[in-house]
Amino acid sequence: MDGDRAPVMADVARIAGVSHQTVSRVLNDHPNVRPATRDRVLAAVRELGYRPNAAARNLATRRTRTLGVVSFNTTLYGPASMLYGVEQAARQHEYFVTVAASETLDRRSLLDAVDRLQDQGVEGIIVIAPQTAAVAALANVPSDVALAAVGCGTHTALASVAVDNEMGAERATSYLLDLGHRTVHHMVGPRSWLDAQERETGWRRALEKRGAPVPEPLAAADWTARTGYELGQRIAANRDVTAVFCANDHMALGLLRALQQAGQRVPEDISVVGFDDLPEAEYFGPPLTTVRQNFDELGRRALRALIEIIDKPDAAPSAPAETPHVIIQPSLVVRASATRPRT
């Protein structure tokens, strides 16, 4: 082989002692190849440092190996982590990802994003749809588009993957009740978000199951620490509050600041539990007890669902009863921000 040029498939075939077609079958993971032959070809690939020509492979298979992702406000931790999980899973399956981000995901913006991605030749699309408006808009996407949704639970007829927000909120609330708190107050997220709705439902269900009083939740306009701080000032002024479940960790951070300024100690005076498990959560003062979402698993399951639709277009769901919904269980991470109530 000429040392000045990159190795090609013919070089791999020559060293492995097989045909060009056999090398192609091995590289495309074709099942009808003997294990010994497959090992010999892969050894030749490693020896030569051969890299398949993706463009040539796409022309031969008429597949682009490219997936689209429609996302909303990727600066927020949840949607950004979902997007990262999808990208990581796609890389492992040798797919490329192209992203179309919108400030809002209403009918018009969603259809525009789908059109733009289809113009780029994507084989399928994952929609990160955490808001009620986005879920409603999904019904308007043409049925011939291979589509999977992330973050919308079972609220859509499409194949979907989501974290069980209700269960996570119920576990967080039950944990505080188990510590001996008479009730748990809730700082709820913006109610246009499915995450906020489901976490509020889980919080309420935990209290009702135990026969605990259900305080009026404090509604937030957004997910920010500033909002948590502003609502936290109201909580700090209420001396009856001993435990608070926040709909996300950013609001919990704002609450911790408000309590500190008011001279309230966490967890001695008020216990606080969040949701998300931000990378910084263990460095809050005190380290935050929170609910962790498995975004890596969410990305893997979402990609798997979409690839199954792409590979079996005739089996794409046509009715809610036929639609696979994957719900991933979160876990409670216990740290130092919650303890037994003051006497």
Residues 133, 70, single domain; the answer is yes
CATH number at residue 22: 1.10.260.40
Q: Which residue has the higher pLDDT, 180 or 52?
A: 180
The pLDDT of residue 93 is 82
The pLDDT of residue 299 is 87
The pLDDT of residue 242 is 98
The pLDDT of residue 214 is 98
Average pLDDT taken over every residue of the chain:
87
Provide the domain count of the chain: 3
Q: Which residue has the higher pLDDT, 215 or 92?
A: 215
pLDDT at 74 over 80: no
Task: Using alpha carbons, list the distances in angstroms from residue 239 to 38, 143, 233, 342.
Answer: 71, 55, 12, 11
CA distance 7 to 77: 43
Q: What is the DSSP letter of 76?
A: S
Q: What is the DSSP letter of 131?
A: B
Residues 305, 287, single domain; the answer is no
At 212-243, the pLDDT tens digits run 999 999 999 999 999 999 999 999 999 999 99
Domain boundary among 61, 79, 98: 61
**3-class secondary structure, 291:** strand
CA distance 136 to 151: 13
Contact call for residues 231 and 187 (beta carbons, < 8 A): yes
CA distance 44 to 23: 10
Classify residue 340: in a domain, yes or no: no
Where is mean pLDDT largest: 41-45, 144-148, 154-158, 162-166? Answer: 162-166
Residues 180, 279, single domain; the answer is yes
Residues 92, 204, single domain; the answer is no
CA distance 178 to 212: 12
Percent of the chain with pLDDT over 70: 90
β-partners of residue 71 are 101
The pLDDT of residue 2 is 56
For the ranges 93-102, 170-179, 189-198, which has the lowest average pLDDT? 93-102
Classify residue 320: in a domain, yes or no: yes
Classify residue 175: in a domain, yes or no: yes
Residue 179, both tokens: 């510590």
Classify residue 201: in a domain, yes or no: yes
Residues 176, 282, single domain; the answer is yes
Contact call for residues 169 and 118 (beta carbons, < 8 A): no
Domain boundary among 38, 61, 84: 61
Residues 72, 184, single domain; the answer is no
Cα distance from N-terminal residue to C-terminal residue, the chain: 82
Mean pLDDT (whole number) for 176-188 = 98
Residues 238, 214, single domain; the answer is yes
Q: Which residue has the higher pLDDT, 273 or 48?
A: 273
pLDDT at 20 over 80: no
Extended strands (E) in 31-179: 66-72, 96-102, 124-128, 147-150, 159-163
Residues 182, 260, single domain; the answer is yes
Mean pLDDT (whole number) for 10-19 = 88
User: How many Cβ atoms are within 10 Å of 334's Cβ, its own excluded?
Assistant: 12
pLDDT at 62 over 60: no
Confidence of residue 307 (pLDDT cuts 50, 70, 90): confident
Classify residue 273: in a domain, yes or no: yes
CA distance 89 to 303: 7
**Domain enclosing residue 312, as ranges:** 66-163+295-329
Residues 316, 284, single domain; the answer is no
User: How many Cβ atoms are within 10 Å of 163's Cβ, its own excluded?
Assistant: 27
Residue 29 Rama label (left phi>0; alpha psi -120 to 50; beta): left
Classify residue 245: in a domain, yes or no: yes
Where is mean pLDDT largest: 149-163, 168-182, 285-299? Answer: 168-182
pLDDT at 80 over 80: yes
Classify residue 341: in a domain, yes or no: no
**Strand pairing category for 147-150 and 124-128:** parallel
Residues 181, 270, single domain; the answer is yes
Residues 229, 123, single domain; the answer is no
pLDDT at 317 over 50: no
pLDDT at 188 over 80: yes
Mean pLDDT (whole number) for 182-203 = 96
**Residue type present at position 111:** L
Task: Using alpha carbons, list the distances in angstroms from residue 111 to 106, 140, 179, 181, 206.
Answer: 9, 8, 48, 48, 39
Domain boundary among 265, 293, 321: 293
At 291-303, the pLDDT tens digits run 999 988 888 899 8
Classify residue 336: in a domain, yes or no: no
Mean pLDDT (whole number) for 179-192 = 96
Confidence of residue 73 (pLDDT cuts 50, 70, 90): low
For the ranges 42-51, 143-152, 217-226, 308-317, which has the lowest average pLDDT? 308-317
Task: Using alpha carbons, list the distances in angstroms from residue 259 to 223, 241, 286, 289.
Answer: 18, 11, 12, 16
**What size, in residues, is the chain?**
343
Mean pLDDT (whole number) for 109-136 = 86
CATH number at residue 173: 3.40.50.2300
Residues 287, 311, single domain; the answer is no
